[in-house]
Amino acid sequence: MAAARRALLEVLKGATLSPPPVWLMRQAGRYLPEYRETRAKAGSFLSLCYSPDLATEVTLQPIRRYGFDAAILFSDILVIPDALKRNVHFVEGSGPRMDPIEEAGIFALEQAGVLDHLTPVMQAVRQIRAALPDETTLLGFCGAPWTVATYMIAGHGTSDQAPARLFGYRQPEAFAHLLAVLAELSADYLVAQIDAGADAVQIFDSWAGVLGEAEFETYAIEPVARIIRSVKARRPQARIIAFAKGAGMNLRHYRQKTGADMIGLDWSVPLSFAAELQKDGPVQGNLDPMRVVAGGAALDEGVDRILEALGQGPLVFNLGHGITPDADPQHVTRLVDRVRGVRNGG
């Protein structure tokens, strides 16, 4: 029996499909009542991430409901700092917290045992792949070193990542070491996910948009390129998506310099520029998540514009960032139907 076609993987290899495959960042999350019910059973957020059975359940929920072309492992970009014993925890309503790291702590980071700590994540990957429909692509992921480092330096999220930017200017050797450690561990982590059953992986650089041109090269491009080189040296068939949110014109050469197979685009990327980027290979994105909240004509128009601008080339339809908790699940149904050619009234 022939293997099922995994549409997203075909696009990652350069194919143009009509309709394009569709999945949404944070498609398993608080906007879904079934997620909220499972989350309540888990206790802490990290307990949910580290329970293979519960992580499998929440990963599968949006697949059951919407039939997306890809599932993405339910986890968090901060599991590596957690494995590095940085006391990661999540405060309801205000996000992640951890012990801020300083220069001495960076050079004292102990890398041994990190993958052992993440064994439950690999078990979840195996369980998810076994439970998914054959045609559904399974995506693994990690946080990009720059974005993970911003949380490690400040100990929490900030609006402009000034603590990490200042640290990079004042203590460049320590910051370079931190990025190198995170790149090495992230590559190992992605290889482990691929070996456990992930079909492709995505690298999330959620805070790339605060960087100037020179810093983008040093903090965003070089560490991600290091990850991709390392993964592909060990797993030559690996397919990798790189998403640098807010990168703007810095995306012009991002694919070439990082070695990514596909680049994700946030909603601020003009579709004319996205079409230029698509000439060099597959793109993913880039609907404004607020259009999903709005629904109706705003949602339909946003979907149609992306399909018109990018549908004649290799495209994976997605949001320009994660779906928000206030999104109506019925609006997501409308989005999927519209991408797949089912038109709705109103």
**Ordered structural domains, the chain, with CATH:** 7-339 (3.20.20.210)
What pLDDT shows up at residue 346? 40
| Mean pLDDT (whole number) for 32-45 | 95
What pLDDT shows up at residue 163? 98
Query: Measuring CA to CA, which residue among 314, 334, 335 is closest to residue 13?
Result: 314
Q: Which residues contact 254 (CB under 8 A, 6 or more apart)?
A: 221, 242, 244, 247, 260, 263
Tens digit of each residue's pLDDT (9 = 90 or more) over 227-269: 999 999 999 999 999 999 999 999 999 999 999 999 999 999 9
Class of residue 294 by CB neighbours under 10 A (exposed 0-12, middle 13-18, buried 19+)? middle
User: Given pLDDT bands bounded at 50, 70 and 90, which one contains residue 4?
Assistant: confident
Residue type, 35: Y
Looking at the predicted structure, is the pLDDT value of residue 295 above 90? yes
Query: Measuring CA to CA, which residue among 205, 238, 207, 218 is closest to residue 176?
Result: 218
| Mean pLDDT (whole number) for 134-150 | 98
Looking at the predicted structure, is the pLDDT value of residue 342 above 50? yes
Tens digit of each residue's pLDDT (9 = 90 or more) over 40-82: 999 899 999 999 999 999 999 999 999 999 999 999 999 999 9
Query: Which residues are part of the catalytic machinery?
Result: 26, 30, 39, 76, 151
CA distances 127 to 47, 73, 80, 198, Å, are 17, 10, 21, 11
% of the chain at pLDDT higher than 90: 95
**How much is the pTM?**
0.97
| Mean pLDDT (whole number) for 122-137 | 98
Looking at the predicted structure, is the pLDDT value of residue 184 above 70? yes
What pLDDT shows up at residue 2? 54
Whether the Cβ atoms of residue 205 and residue 246 lie closer than 8 Å to each other:
no
In whole angstroms, give the CA distance from residue 294 to residue 301: 11
Residue type, 265: L
In whole angstroms, give the CA distance from residue 85 to residue 98: 9
Looking at the predicted structure, is the pLDDT value of residue 1 above 70? no
| Mean pLDDT (whole number) for 309-324 | 98
For 284, phi then psi, to 5°, come to -135, 135
What pLDDT shows up at residue 345? 45
Residue type, 159: S
In whole angstroms, give the CA distance from residue 160 to residue 208: 10
Looking at the predicted structure, is the pLDDT value of residue 35 above 60? yes
What pLDDT shows up at residue 3? 62
User: Given pLDDT bands bounded at 50, 70 and 90, which one contains residue 152?
Assistant: very high
Structure token digits, residue 244 = 């640098």
Residues 129-156 as b/e (b if ≥16 CB within 10 A, e otherwise) read beebeeebbbbbbbbbbbbbbbbbbbbe
What pLDDT shows up at residue 93? 80
Q: Between vectors from CA 319 to CA 318 and to CA 323, what angle results, nearest 5°? A: 120
